[in-house]
Structure 1
Amino acid sequence: MAPPQPPRGAVVGLGMMGRHHARILQSNPKMRFAGAVDPGGDRFGAVRDGALLYASVDELLSAPGGAPDFAVIAVPTEEHVPTARALAEAGVHVLVEKPLAATVEEARVVIDAVRAAGVHGAVGHVERCNPALRALRERVQDGQIGEVYLVATERVGPFPDRIRDVGVVKDLATHDLDLVRWLGGAPIERVAAQTQHRMGREHEDLVLVTGRLGNGRAFNAMVDWLTPTKVRRTRVLGEGGMLVADTLNADLYFYANAHVPTVGWPEAAARRGVAEGDMTRYALERREPLAVELEAFCALIAGEDGATGGVVSLDEGLETVAVAEAVLESARSGETCAL
């Protein structure tokens, strides 16, 4: 009996993210390429066979090879609902690039469409597939730093010209709002935020968020499009030290607490916190996060055991959109928002 064929996948939208999905779909042996959709054409030259380039989702679905098994939705956020609905109704599993939708209401429409069609859906929060963050989370869960005090992220850099429909909160900070929940081990319970509008756009270009998770752990996130250098850093602080991930380079560091004794000086010892200890840089296996994400989704639709642990569910995607809306409301009102 011949082994089953890898699933056929398509990508809708050949922009910044879609072109990389197309590259992986055409080169990874765990999947087959069914085509790409972009009414603007293939401006980055991402599709090797021009016959597999389509101007609309309808053209893709009616192509000679038949509808794909799954599709990556990499169109602008405001187009997620009609695209996801059309694909799901055709029986196509969907991986939606983050954020799941522009609003909570639209995110629920996507979820309803996917569930009504009986297909699988997931959200492309690709940072969860970064090797440094995966290793960091595993070490936190194994108790390396003991009790966790704080999860903090920094995601700053210049403005990307591709952005047209959202501000920094829904485009970039959704990465961080998803990560603090994933790394911190509980949903976000409350947020307080400040935003800045410095570029003359309708949407915000800087946000500072502080908050608390449902398990009492604190978090903060700093995200902007105003910094003239690109920084991507996540740190988790605990009683035993601090783990720091540089996600641009997929590096992970551990800074140990060094408890320095103060013999014969009890009062000073009681006040003493921690001291600078050893620093370790870990050797990690590095794979492209987007390839890991696509492989996990293929495993999910194939029904492989344990595959759900490698993807971000639609419900988690909805939760992140809800937190992003709470961040914007907190910045608007000047008040802390509970979820």
Structure 2
Amino acid sequence: MSELRAVLVGLGQMGRHHARALGALEGVELVGVHDPALTRESAAVAGLPLQDGVDDLLALEPDLAVVATPTSTHLDLGRRLAAAGVHTLIEKPVAGSADDGRSLVEAFAGTGLVAGVGHIERYNPALQEMRRRLDDGQVGEIYQVATRRTGPYPARIGDVGVALDLATHDIDLTAWVTRSAYRSVSAHTAHRSGRVHEDLVTAVAMLDNGIVANHVVNWLSPLKERITVVTGERGSLVADTVAMDLTFYANGVAPVEWETLRSFKGVVQGDVIRYAIAKPEPLAVELTCFRDAVLGLHDHVVGLAEATRVVEVAEALLASARSGTTVPL
């Protein structure tokens, strides 16, 4: 079987990771990259086949492309790749607005091409194991999903705020692990670092199945956190997607001896289990799934329509913050 010919647009922080992972992906040959900020000298040092523009990439007749450019460029690049008949993976968010996302859905509709979006947390082993355990009923009825995603401002991001960038991770993973869509959101934002776009958002949401979700997201903290807590009737599952760890905190079942606690009607802590799970690199898993979808082996990619719904929720967060009201979806 011949190798799939891959091209990459964008060699910023995420693009460089894609270049490395594509270069190591079995059955795929990275035949061309383009980034207007990269010189031929630096590309040669990195061993990358630099091209002068997207037209030059398309002239290489690629089978698949990865788009890792600023969000504002996704619509134009996606349309060009769809028109050229190239299977495409676009880094999240899919586009800068839900309208643009819907335009991308339309561009790829009926082409027979695989079009996916890089919501990489779905490929994090801690969250994959969490979802499996939730499906098995480990926590019973789910009451709440709480996420914290904080850290320093990434200089590479200039065209969107924290809601469309970081928060879209939590929106997507929450809907994915619970298998439920967002019904309504209420949010507050802040601008604390002098940039045009918001750098902090807190949100409370209701999902279609009655689960309450809340998200704390900012670019203002020196502490990098990537935590997801799912609480249910039997306990809580806690995923740390930086360490790729998953821990279960069970509700206590042993009798309480201390009379003061005996009268307490809430939950007490039981066993705590930290699971030993395999930890493959999420990006490598994501690209492997994209390759296999292109080969027709399965369709385990995040589709454009799904990713556009994530942007719709992010836009609702911003609308809620502006209006001071709860926004239905």
TM-score (norm 2): 0.95
1:122 matched residue in structure 2: 116
Equivalent residue for 2:58, pick from 40, 61, 66: 61
Equivalent residue for 2:288, pick from 270, 292, 295: 295
**1:48 Cα offset (Å):** 4.5
- Measured against aligned partners, the alpha-carbon deviations of 1:288-336 in whole angstroms (never above 9, x if no partner) come to 10010000011111111xx22x211111101001001000000000000
CA contact (8 A) 1:36 1:47 kept: no
CA contact (8 A) 1:259 1:274 kept: no
Change (3 A) 1:259 1:162: same
Change (3 A) 1:261 1:49: closer
Helix, strand or coil at the partner of 2:203: strand
**1:259 Cα offset (Å):** 3.0
- 1:107 aligned to 2:101? yes
CA contact (8 A) 2:43 2:50 kept: no
What CA distance in whole angstroms lies between the structure 1 residues aligned with 2:67 and 2:120?
A: 14
2:269 matched residue in structure 1: 276
Deviates more, 1:77-86 or 1:113-122: 113-122
What CA distance in whole angstroms lies between the structure 1 residues aligned with 2:112 and 2:36?
A: 28
CA contact (8 A) 2:163 2:314 kept: yes
1:320 matched residue in structure 2: 310
- Measured against aligned partners, the alpha-carbon deviations of 1:189-228 in whole angstroms (never above 9, x if no partner) come to 1000000111111110100010111111110110001111
1:28 matched residue in structure 2: 25
2:226 matched residue in structure 1: 232
What CA distance in whole angstroms lies between the structure 1 residues aligned with 2:100 and 2:112?
A: 19
Helix, strand or coil at the partner of 1:54: coil
Helix, strand or coil at the partner of 1:96: strand
Gaps of 5+ in 1: none
Change (3 A) 1:104 1:272: same
**1:271 Cα offset (Å):** 5.6
% identical aligned pairs: 48
The residue type equivalent to 1:284 in the other structure is: I
What CA distance in whole angstroms lies between the structure 2 residues aligned with 1:116 and 1:56?
A: 27
Helix, strand or coil at the partner of 2:164: helix
Helix, strand or coil at the partner of 1:273: coil
CA contact (8 A) 1:150 1:238 kept: yes
Helix, strand or coil at the partner of 2:165: helix
CA contact (8 A) 1:257 1:276 kept: yes
Deviating above 4 A after TM superposition, structure 1's stretches of 4 or more consecutive aligned residues are 42-48, 268-271
CA contact (8 A) 1:151 1:183 kept: no
1:258 matched residue in structure 2: 252
- Measured against aligned partners, the alpha-carbon deviations of 1:133-164 in whole angstroms (never above 9, x if no partner) come to 11111111111111110111100011111111
- 1:139 aligned to 2:133? yes
How well do the aligned residues superpose, as a CA RMSD in angstroms? 1.9
What CA distance in whole angstroms lies between the structure 2 residues aligned with 1:164 and 1:234?
A: 26
